[in-house]
């Protein structure tokens, strides 16, 4: 289970974060797209209806509420539509003080597959998770989304205490799957979900790549 303090995990994450940042810079210089990662996408609107849950210890997850949200649907590598790619769902939720950003990518929901990226042709053909855990009141907590069979524009949002069963806490309704790719930068490290923190090793792993992506695209 992830730890709170400095140590071997933090140092390893810092090393891996530097490698990822370097790879992001090289990728940005090798392609003409404005963004080195998830270069092509659509920014659309939607409605997040939190139905509420119990047991997360996070009020934003456990209490009901409704928010108008900005969503970016994208392909990580930017491959043609006919070729499987890692799809991303970025969600920006207005909060009392600012905004909260949630980034999810296609994975599975099993004990192991929730941590494994899985390419597919359509973002709605597989569930998505945050991959890396947040630090919640009771320890590591993952967030996820599951497409529904009744409506292709609706996802169920979920949380899980690390390897525990998933708990539904919200419905996400997407207004459209197509739209202009506006210049908006999602950063889950700088704009965390209310009531959740990031482990230091997660910060060290992800922050350098996000910073490099912004710098290379002129969005720093």
pLDDT digit string, tens, across residues 138-149: 999 999 999 998
Contacts of 150 (CB under 8 A, 6+ apart): none
Distances (CA, A) of 101 to 68, 120, 121, 185, 211: 13, 23, 24, 9, 15
> Where are the alpha helices (H) located in the chain, listed in sequence order?
8-30, 59-62, 200-216
**DSSP-assigned states of every residue in 36-61:** SSS-EEEEEEEEEEE---SSS--HHH
Residues 15-25: tens digit of each pLDDT? 443 444 334 34
- Domain 41-196 of CATH type 2.60.40.1080: no
Q: What percent of the chain is helix, strand and coil (3-state, nearest 5)? A: 25, 30, 45
- pLDDT band for position 30 (cuts 50, 70, 90): very low
pTM over 0.85: no
Residue at token pair 């995990």: 9
Helix/strand/coil (H/E/C) assignment for every residue in 147-180 = ECCCCCCEEEEEEECCCCCCEEEEEEEECCCCCC
Q: What is the pLDDT of residue 82?
A: 87
Please say whether the beta carbons of 179 and 43 come within 8 A: yes
- pLDDT band for position 12 (cuts 50, 70, 90): low
Question: Which tokens sit at 62?
Answer: 């456990």
158 has which bridge partners? 144, 168
């Amino acid at each position: 289970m992830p730890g709170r303090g400095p140590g071997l995990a933090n140092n390893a994450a810092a090393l891996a974060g530097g490698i990822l940042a370097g790879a992001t810079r090289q990728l940005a210089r090798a392609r003409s797209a404005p963004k080195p990662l998830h270069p092509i996408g659509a920014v659309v609107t939607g409605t997040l209806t939190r139905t509420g849950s119990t047991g997360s210890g996070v009020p934003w997850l456990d209490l009901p509420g409704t928010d108008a949200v900005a969503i970016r649907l994208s392909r990580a590598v930017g491959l043609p539509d006919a070729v499987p790619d890692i799809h991303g769902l970025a969600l920006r939720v207005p909060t009392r003080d600012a905004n909260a950003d949630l980034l999810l990518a296609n994975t599975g929901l099993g004990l192991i597959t929730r941590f494994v990226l899985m390419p597919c042709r359509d973002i709605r053909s597989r569930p998505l998770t945050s991959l890396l855990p947040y630090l919640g009141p009771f320890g590591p907590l993952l967030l996820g989304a599951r497409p529904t069979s009744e409506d292709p524009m609706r996802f169920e949002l979920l949380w899980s205490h690390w390897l525990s069963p998933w708990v539904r806490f919200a419905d996400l309704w997407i207004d459209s799957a197509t739209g202009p790719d506006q210049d908006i930068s999602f950063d889950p490290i700088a704009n965390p979900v209310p009531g959740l923190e990031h482990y230091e090793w997660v910060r060290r792993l992800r922050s350098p790549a996000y910073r490099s992506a912004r710098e290379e695209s002129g969005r720093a």
